Structure 1
Amino acid sequence: MSPDEQRPDGVLDAVEELLLGERPHLTRVQVSAQAGVPLADAEELWHQLGFPHHADDEVAFTEADVEALRLAHDLMSFGILSPESRAALVRTWGRSFARLADWQVALLAQVANSVPGANPAEQLTMLTAEVMPRLERLQSYVWRRHLASAGNRLIAVEDVTSPVVSLAVGFVDIVGFTSRSKTLPDGELVDWIEGFEDVASSIVLDHGGRVVKNIGDAVLFVADTPEDAVEIALAMTARGADDDDPFPAVRGGIAYGEVIARLGDVFGPTVNIAARLTSVARPGTVLIDSEAHAALLGDPGERDDDEDDAPEGPYRFRRVPRVSVKGYSRLEPWVVRRA
């Protein structure tokens, strides 16, 4: 490695060249002109992707940026990226990949600094050259696999043009997270949260659900049926109730009904109700709304029973008093547990 490459700026230049395929040699004005895309459109796209701002005369781009701008313009001309959907979709790309990139770079830097006696700069450059091509291929594989799964789910929907679908929505959050987090060193807190997310994600997937997102001390998931959602939540509360299991104590809330599915997220009253039920659930319990309760019983009508043992089914239910939470003054939840 040359003396220039051993300096921090030299290392960054070498890594940047490995990632982009060549040293930056174009300005944003040149990229726009070569791609045949108006500069205003290019700037809007880069802004939505979360890229840093560059002056007109700043050399910060490569031929890869020209090709990417052409591809984006082609997608818009094909109607794939309409003006209505482009901003939201591109922002989602930018946020998702920015978070992924931050984590991957931090991981590489950690590994580069952990080799005794080695030059961290040399290790970082070597790791970038060896790891990134493999990581890129793996990310492409994961993306295609998720595309296949999403396509299969779409085929099962009657109206593929509507973003409204019927799903069971569940929240599960950690009991006593705030107080516990104050007593843990930063490293242990990160390990604790990552352990929770890892186990929670596995439970959701093992029972046919899909993780929508992790929100600090909570996981939001969806399932095609209330049965699947209840199995997920009860599996987590059972793990949390086991003193020998490091999985933390949790509580859950489940609602069933129509949701708006958009860019991998879900919205609507059903999601809000699931969140509100979680906020009032007691530690180790799972609350469901009246729609989920009726679906689990196979009875769309109202039940007046305070307790329904459902001896022929896998669950028992107990009605709890109506609750008033933000946005919903008279929720009618049920505690669900295994028969």
Structure 2
Amino acid sequence: MARILLARRRGGPGGLHPHAAHDRRPQRAARERRRSSLSRPGHALASDLGRARPGHPREPRRASIRADARHAPRDVPRIRPFPAPRRAAPVRPGAHGLHRGHRALGHPGGADARASPGGRIADVDFESEGLLEGLEDERARKDRLRLLTELYEAGVSLDELRRAVAEERVALLPVEIELGGEQKYTGREVAERSGLGIEFLMRQRQALGLSRPPPTERAWTEDDLQAAIQIKKFLDAGLPQEGLLEVARVVGESMARIADATRELVGRALARPGDTERDLGLRLADATSVLLPMIGPRMEYVYRVHLREQLRNVVLSQENVAAGELPGSQEITVCFADLVGFTKLGEALPPEELGRVAGQLSEFALGIAEPPVRVVKTIGDAAMLAGPEPAGVVSAALGLVEATEGAGEDFPSIRSGVAFGNALEHAGDWYGWPVNVASRVTGVARPGSVVTTREVHDAAEEQFRWTPIGRRKLKGVREPVPLFRARLRDGPSRGPAAPGRRRRSS
């Protein structure tokens, strides 16, 4: 046991399981730790996680759930995220986060802590606690019992288990353990160690969309501390507090959407018919441990590419350089496109199908917009595009019409409004006259059409066929606005084709 504890404290040699040399008897194959492929049949933590060292004559011994060698091995995978149980200091009651670093210390104290002098945690009668109620299938009952036992021995309190069962989220607890970290700092301690003011630290956390715990509550992890230290470096480099808070809001909103999308993707990909809670929970935890380290480099790559593309379209005049300032408002072409009848469609379609339609619109917009035109945002049934040149934005809008027309008879029609003028870019969005007008023009456009203001028409008159549709009174605009419908000179616009749908008149 001393060898095991020492190996864990030092991190152990790379790639080796902490118990690899536990059994020194001859003719026993030590096990090397290896993550299984997520594409293998069965769940991701199958028994082939360990393998005999090459050339060894004997089959490797099977790993036990418990670290205690006195327990008979069982034909189940070793629960990699769950450490061997040991005593630990009490956790704060009612904690929702289950953190691997915290659980590594062992079972929390309090009324639920029942450990023998040797460190072994006594069994809990989960059935009498009512945590197996409602499970008629014997396999489902047995696997929930095993999972509850493993979670309890890993340090999850009985109250947390009761709450998870009541909320029908027992299968997600292993993932929470995989994602977590030990909540060992208070907000004041993080502020003191990072050099940030406590109020700014709290505002920064809130801007990211996270909860704002009391400054004296131990709700901060080592990752939180390191993030605060990085923020202090940004401040020391001369970046203003308010600017950092604005960026934090954008990052928080974007990360929340990314987390939502990846959660749905992984959940759908790994859920399998016939799973028990334990099957799915361990598979999700293992997938999280494999996939999570890939997210950071991937996001950095996308960030660099977007930043490079945007810098190529920034106009920085000599006057701006001499004045020591970046340009403020600039001329920009804005397009709003929305799906016709999307609200009524929502009354007839299930949410999953409605989400598929919205996702298809986003895919069309991202596929058609080519730099310097970019998709600013998509919101359900609408997309906003922007670019420096009117012709490029009008072409993208016509391409979006063509794409939706080729998507099948059941896909809603789209209409677009395009305007040109001075606007201000702020935190990844645009504000100003062309943004407001483009949105209003969309409201008067017919399905399958692209309607623009006179400024757009005059700037791109040679590239398209135009039909004047008269002056229209737009909400929020004082004077009636002359509008024009745009069409391609040589037939339909570009966009992915799909058979089986008659093209609407455009």
TM-score (ref. length: structure 1)? 0.86
Q: Does 1:98 align with 2:256?
A: yes
Q: Kindly tell me: are residues 172 and 10 of structure 1, through their superposed partners in 2, closer, same or farther at Cα, counting changes over 3 Å?
A: closer
Alpha-carbon distance in structure 1 between the residues aligned to 2:411 and 2:172: 40
In the alignment, residue 338 of structure 2 is paired with which amino acid? D
Partner of 1:337: 487
2:206 counterpart residue number: 47
- Give the one of 466, 475, 482 matched to 1:326: 475
Q: CA deviation at 1:36?
A: 2.5
1:32 shift after superposition? 1.8
Alpha-carbon separation, structure 1, partners of 2:249 and 2:238: 18
The 1:117–1:180 alpha-carbon spacing in structure 2 relative to 1, beyond 3 Å, is: closer
CA distance in 1, matches of 2:275, 2:484: 61
The match for 1:163 is 328
Equivalent residues in 2 for 1:50-61, closer than 5 Å: 50-61=209-220
Alignment match of 1:138 (pick from 286, 289, 298)? 298
User: How far did residue 227 of structure 1 move?
Assistant: 0.9
Larger radius of gyration: 2
Match of 2:338 among 164, 173, 180: 173
Q: Are residues 74 and 17 of structure 1, via their aligned partners in 2, closer, same or farther at CA, if it must alter by over 3 Å?
A: farther
Q: Deviations over 1:106-138 (max 9, x none)?
A: 333333433644612101210110111112221
**AA matched with 2:282:** E
For residue 55 of structure 1, report the CA deviation from its aligned partner.
Answer: 3.0
Within the candidate set 151, 168, 176, 1:5 is matched to 151
Q: Structure 1 regions of 5+ residues with no counterpart?
A: 298-312
Give the distance between the partners of 1:246 and 1:196, measured in 2 at CA.
Answer: 13
Alignment partner of 2:458: what SS? helix
Alignment of 1:228-307 (within 5 A): 228-242=392-406, 244=408, 247-297=411-461
Indicate the residue corresponding to 2:19 in structure 1: none
Distance in 1, matches of 2:272 and 2:307, equals: 37
Distance 1:37 1:175 in 2: 50
SS at match of 1:74: helix
Counterpart CA distance in 1 for 2:452 and 2:335 is 9
Distance 1:231 1:54, change over 3 A: same
AA in 1 matched with 2:331: S
2:366 alignment partner in structure 1: 201
Counterpart-to-counterpart distance in 2, 1:84 and 1:95: 17
Structure 1 residues 141 and 227: alpha-carbon distance in aligned structure 2, compared to 1, 3 A threshold: same
Q: TM-score, normalised by structure 2?
A: 0.59
Contact 1:27–1:56, Cα closer than 8 Å, also in 2: yes
Native 8 Å contact 2:418 2:452 kept in 1? yes
Q: Distance in 2 between matches of 1:115 and 1:33?
A: 51
The structure richer in helix per residue is 1
1:11/1:125 contact within 8 Å kept: no
Selected match of 1:188 from 353, 356, 362: 353
Q: 1:13, 1:177 → 2: CA distance?
A: 37
Unaligned runs of 5+ in 2: 1-78, 83-148, 153-160, 490-506
SS at match of 2:466: strand
Once residues 32 and 287 of structure 1 are traced to their aligned partners in structure 2, the CA distance between those partners, rounded to angstroms, is 53
Amino acid at match of 2:253: R
- Give, in angstroms, the shift of residue 38 of structure 1: 2.4
Q: Secondary structure at the match of 1:325?
A: coil
How does 1:211-230 map onto structure 2 within 5 Å? 211-230=375-394
Equivalence for 2:70: none
Greater length-normalized contact order (CA 8 Å, ≥ 6 residues apart): 1
3-state SS of the aligned residue for 1:284? coil
Write the distance in 2 (CA, Å) between the matches of 1:284 and 1:210. 21
Contact 1:197 1:214 in 2 (8 A): yes
Q: What SS does the aligned partner of 2:217 have? A: coil
Contact 1:17–1:23 (CA under 8 A) maintained in structure 2: no
Identical positions, percent: 27
Secondary structure of the residue aligned to 2:308 is helix
Report deviation, 1:47: 1.6
**Number of the residue aligned with 1:149:** 309
Cα distance, 1:17 vs. partner?
5.5
Whole-angstrom CA distance in 1 between matches of 2:470 and 2:396: 24
